């Protein structure tokens, strides 16, 4: 959008140089300007935007201003007058707000937070590319271990502090994760921060030391934020309750589906799982995912029903895994538990589609991307009746009322034996509803309309 201050016209979706031409052309015919001005106010009266008396008053003021400008123009000369006018126009449009998008999170995780950051950024590049500046962090802890991982994590945070030097003072920063550098917190720069859920904030003993430190800053981060973004109504209510943020200052940007889940392209096959019968869990190996409960389910399924069944675990990073790995090693069927780790995006749709069922017994989720990914491929998803995941029932997810191993085993047994798949209408509903483009549009409206 480009504004022309002289006549209060707004030009949408046109290049800046064309707008400059239009700006000059509109007021170039000064001999007929008073006549055009009168017609303008007559049109406003005719369409009942203003009264006749208001039109006369506005016309007198505008005509007087025009005569004064003409007088000045005769004194200083037309070329100087035109140059001053153009400078004012350029100054007006140089103040346009830009979005500074922080992509530092790509060096920290490949879990749901990164998926959100990547896809929102991708959609914004398509729609407002010229209004967005991307801050890329050169340091990454992905794939690194031990001390080297910690060093890279620390350096990534140090580099983030330099984001404050990006853009102009009226630009707005967008942080797709709850990481906001001190340089921003101590400045007067505007920003929007994304809080996906508050599980680690409420359960600090079940997360890393670094995460506990970050959580202590959350109240300050949301207090200084222009808006707080989140991914579900559940998380919004949590943020209001625990961080005392006004509902009007929270914007919901739901997660969506990668195009690989919505297109009918050929799917990449994972050869080691071809023709195998397996139940699937997608997510980080961490305490809240309740993997230990899932192992109990798998063991009982093997004991009672399926000797050939496999359990496939896949997802991003892992932390606080001591108890989880011990549980796996203690399982009588540990040889049938396959930990794939991080799977390529191209292969995930096939992995979901071939699964008997996606079992997701997480204790709490701000959203639950694996659930919609599974449903989009027609594979049943089993979830617990809690947090944001219970709301996927209307899209075909099977919601369990409690953490009773036998109940989960019996439900999975029915799904496998009856070869249950998600109804095609529900598959279509999932693909239509969860759309990254829609969420990106909400963010754009928040920045350029609500600000």
**Domains located in the chain, CATH noted:** 2-94 (no CATH), 99-256+436-450 (3.40.50.2000), 260-433 (3.40.50.2000)
Mean pLDDT in runs of 10 for the chain (451 residues)? 46 45 45 74 72 82 80 62 55 70 93 95 93 94 87 93 93 96 95 95 76 84 97 97 96 96 85 94 92 97 96 82 92 96 91 98 96 98 97 97 97 97 97 96 87 56
Tokens of 256: 């969506």
Dist CA 101 CA 256 (whole Å): 19
* Residue 294 DSSP code: H
Identify the CA nearest to 431 among candidates 399, 396, 400. 396
> Would you state the torsion angle of the CA atoms of residues 440, 442, 447, 451, taken in this order, to the nearest 10 degrees?
-170
Backbone angles phi, psi at 15, to 5 degrees: -60, 155
Token look-up 């040889």 returns 335
Instruction: Give CA–CA dist 272/353, Å, rounded.
Output: 15
Report phi then psi at 121, rounded to 5. Answer: -60, -45
Tokens describing residue 424: 């095609």
Place of tokens 């921060």: 193
Q: Which of 237, 107, 104 is nearest to 174 (CA)?
A: 104
pLDDT at 22: 44
Provide the pLDDT for residue 114. 94
Q: How far out from the chain centre does Cα 1 lie?
A: 24
Residue whose token pair is 């538990």: 337
- CA atoms of 53 and 165, how far apart (whole Å): 51
What is the structure's pLDDT at 9? 47
- pTM equals 0.78
Q: H/E element holding 351?
A: helix 348-354
Cα–Cα dist 165/65, whole Å: 41
Only one residue has tokens 């496998």, namely: 416
Two tokens, residue 77: 């000369």
Query: Residue 286: its pLDDT value, please?
Result: 87
């Amino acid at each position: 959008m480009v504004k022309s201050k002289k006549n209060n016209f707004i030009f949408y979706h046109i290049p800046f140089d064309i707008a400059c031409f239009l700006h000059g052309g509109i007021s170039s015919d000064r001999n007929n300007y008073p006549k055009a001005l009168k017609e303008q106010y007559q049109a406003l009266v005719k369409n009942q935007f203003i009264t006749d008396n208001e039109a006369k008053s506005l016309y007198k003021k505008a005509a007087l201003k025009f005569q004064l400008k003409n007088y000045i123009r005769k004194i200083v000369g037309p070329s100087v007058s035109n140059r001053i006018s153009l400078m004012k126009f350029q100054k007006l449009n140089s103040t346009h707000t830009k979005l500074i998008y922080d992509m530092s999170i790509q060096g920290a995780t490949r879990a749901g937070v990164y998926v959100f950051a990547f896809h929102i950024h991708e959609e914004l590049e398509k729609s407002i590319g010229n209004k967005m500046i991307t801050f890329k962090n050169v340091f990454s802890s992905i794939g690194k271990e031990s001390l080297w991982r910690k060093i890279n994590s620390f350096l990534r945070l140090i580099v983030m502090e330099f984001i404050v030097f990006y853009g102009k003072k009226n630009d707005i920063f967008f942080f797709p994760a709850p990481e906001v550098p001190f340089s921003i917190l101590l400045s007067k720069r505007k920003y929007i921060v994304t809080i996906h859920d508050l599980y680690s904030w409420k359960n600090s003993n079940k997360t890393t030391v670094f995460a506990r430190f970050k959580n202590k800053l959350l109240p300050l981060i949301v207090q200084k934020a222009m808006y707080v973004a989140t991914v579900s109504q559940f998380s919004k209510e949590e943020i209001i309750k625990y961080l005392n943020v006004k509902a009007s200052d929270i914007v919901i940007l739901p997660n969506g589906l990668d195009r690989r889940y919505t297109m009918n392209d050929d799917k990449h096959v994972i050869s080691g799982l071809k023709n195998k019968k397996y139940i699937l869990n997608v997510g980080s190996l961490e305490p809240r995912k309740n993997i230990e409960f899932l192992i109990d389910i798998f063991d009982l399924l093997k004991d009672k029903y399926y000797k050939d069944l496999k359990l496939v675990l896949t997802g991003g990073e892992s932390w606080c895994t001591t108890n989880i790995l011990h549980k796996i090693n203690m399982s009588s069927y540990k040889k049938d538990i396959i930990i794939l780790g991080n799977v390529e995006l191209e292969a995930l749709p096939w992995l979901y589609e071939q699964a008997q069922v996606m079992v997701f017994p997480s204790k709490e989720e701000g959203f639950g991307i694996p659930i919609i990914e599974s449903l989009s491929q027609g594979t049943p998803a089993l979830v617990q009746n809690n947090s944001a995941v219970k709301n996927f029932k209307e899209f075909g997810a099977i919601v369990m009322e409690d953490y009773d191993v036998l109940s989960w085993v019996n439900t999975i047994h029915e799904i496998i034996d009856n070869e249950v798949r998600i109804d095609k209408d529900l598959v279509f509903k999932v693909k239509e509803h969860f759309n990254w483009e829609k969420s990106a549009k909400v963010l754009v409206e928040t920045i350029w309309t609500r600000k």
